[in-house]
Structure 1
Amino acid sequence: MQLIARSIALAYSNLPRPHRIMLGSLTVVTLAVAVWKPLAYHPDNDLSDTKPLVKNITLDNQQLRSLLPEASEPIDQSPPADDDIPQDDLDDKTANEAGVHEYVVSTGDTLSSILNQYGIDMSEIAALSDANRDLRNLKIGQQLSWTLNDAGDLQRLTWEKSRRETYTFDRSGNTFKSSLETLKGEWKDSVIKGTLNGSFVTSAKAAGLTSGEVSAVIKALQWQLDFRKLQKGDDFAVLMSHEVLEGKNEQSELQAVHMRSGGKDYYAVRAEDGKFYDRTGSGLAKGFLRFPTGKQYRVSSNFNPRRLNPVTGRVAPHRGVDFAVPVGTPVLAVGDGEVVVAKNGGAAGNYVAIRHGRQYMTRYMHLRKLLVKPGQKVKRGDRIALSGNTGRSTGPHLHFEMWINQLAVNPLTAKLPRTEGLTGKDRSTYLATVREVVPQLKLD
């Protein structure tokens, strides 16, 4: 043993001095790691009985990835307070709408493609499909709505399969229980007209529309009008379809709306796919860019609404996507809209928030320089800032968020608005509806 020790000592002495220093440092670090153990103590009154506890934490691949240097977003990153976003009466939600997200099924949609973009686990989607296999064959125009708890778990999903059949799926452990409500009322159309005398919300309710119906009108015309800037004396006409059961209105559906503001007329008419188009069948929604930069950069941290802090075990959601972009990279608005925030947001650093219509919001964080101001109108592709490393950030990157109906979604997979209109037989059927509906919406 002594001979081996002398041989090692002799070999160490013959090494160049830099190598001896490096080897010695590595030895010290290795020994320190080997003997170190994190200790936790119970705050017991009798300190003499306090016993150390050693806690082993097992991390899955996703959590391990969040600790790598490439994950530039701190694990406890907090988004800017929602109070930073200007609110108005158009943002009011009725009691039964709070926390509920709604979606109209369109071409190519599946249950998984719809729910997965909101961070809902595939296991929960599979459990829903097991509860009712018809969910695997959604039809264009059907409506879904769902609620999540604070941890991002799906609690309830409502599926309006048709005007008469509505399925509700409530969580029960790891499964969902299904219930069916069948209505047998009579559907009747009615036209409600009004003139603005104050805000649109107040005037529409005074004319007889419910909060939900007001919200439907705003969503239908959101790409054509800024409802906050309507003027006193502006006129509107709304065609609603109500289901009457035993003399009471059970549910309603917006069919068409006509708004006259500043001498201009704006129309939105529902098609068979459940979406609204103008009188010629052209799409109303404005197209979006998928990425907020001129070219696609590497994703350094993904969207994860259920990310857990591996130490505390608490949910610390990552509500956006981080792109590893060099400092000074031009940041682009992904769609037409209005800048509602452009300032320093603390942990978010310099950041910009843009409202696109009434349903969509995008946020851009950790910027070096802001190129826009609150209230400014921007077009898709406009430069709004230069990327940076401000706020609570461990490296240069761009944090990008997209919100739909006040819920954060995955910007890389979210179904974005498109400008395409109707074609072929669909357009012919729609134009026949327009010819029937528009005369009912005449304004005096």
Structure 2
Amino acid sequence: MESTRTIRLGKKYLILALFIISIFSCKDDNENNENLEQVIEEGTQDVFEFGFNLDDYVVKRDTIQNGDTFGKILERNNIPYPKIFEITQKSKDSFDVSRNLQLGKPYTLLCSNDSLQQPKCFIYQPTKERYVVIDFQDSIKAYTSYKPIKYVEKTASGVITSNISLSMEELGKPYMLAIRMSDIYAWTIDFSRLQKNDKFKVVYTEKYIDDSIYSGIHEIKAAYFEHNKEPFYAFEFETDSVLGIRDYFSDEGKNLRRAFLKAPVSFSRISSRYNLKRRIAHYGYRLKAHRGTDFAAPNGTPIMSTANGTVTRSGYGLGNGKFVKVKHNATYSTQYLHMSKRNVKVGDFVKQGEVIGYVGNTGSSSGNHVCYRFWKNGKEVDPFKEKLPEAKPMSDSLKAKFLEHIKPFKKQLETLDYPIKTDSLTIELQDKKLTT
């Protein structure tokens, strides 16, 4: 396999190389001898990944290429067809390799550490965290596992000079942190109209796989935003342990969200509103009712469910393109059209803010956008003219627990200092890193 990168991990190779080097560079200097001993000791440590000692194998890594199948990959590595068939049949109940391999996803072959380099184990990684092992070195077994994840707590504070994205960039913080904050405050602060000298503080966690691979923002635990000199607190709190629903509340326990988000995409603009008498260029300017609200956004922008609910439709239509429909309760449903990719299937329960697809230009569409449609009692309506319900309030029994829960976070926010600007250089005063 020409495209496969082969990594040989053997103690004997490293020790031999170090021995040869020592012959030509040996000195009586004790300091050099000590350094050499340290290198040998550190370099011969076993390397573990996916639950295997990689030092026992020849490790071949690659990604699924166009036309690749599980059988073709093993066949290229000298596994006979009867053996491939046996492996496929015995592992399909745990993971169907004939169907589930996706183009571009990485895989690893653990091969015998000899001249034959016979494959012993196939490991497929559908996500950064999850991996599937098909082990056929003794008996054939297949299972799914997860890489170890570390969460690192961090803090940020800033003063708005233009917009929150620029402020995050000046602080060296991820752009996604700005998006997550705009989502939390979606019903209380208009992030497109922030004022100069508005301020924010936030306590959040980042996710790392195998201790070092950055995997994005995990959660925002607490935030403070001062907008037009008015304070807005936000604290994350679990309100339904069965469904795992977490929401954000003010320091007084008031839900910051409504039952529905204002928009299914962040940082977008409305390119066309609900209009029953609209003339559409795409249809030759004929009168054609537009029963949705179009949000223009770049291709691939995440589309979020605007409320908790169950996916009732996920498919393709000539006009709708790729679309998803969500039923929220007996009264309300929403639909999201023209996706480039759908991220959910029928029957999935989705939470408010969960990504259900990505902005595209499929179906009858003249540009990248999502057409957001809103049903009330089976009739399509304009959500911006409806008096939508408030989010479910916190129960009295939970409020006492919540007020106790936020005490340390509120104190942590209060102790954060705002950055000082000196010669256009932003100095962040605090960035706590606590591993949990």
- The verdict on a shared fold, with TM-score over 0.5 as the criterion, is no
Q: TM-score band, normalised by the shorter chain?
A: 0.3 to 0.5
- Whichever structure has more strand as a proportion of its residues is 2
> TM-score scaled to structure 2, two decimals?
0.36
Q: Comparing both chains, which one has the higher relative contact order based on Cα–Cα distances under 8 Å and sequence gaps of 6 or more?
A: 1
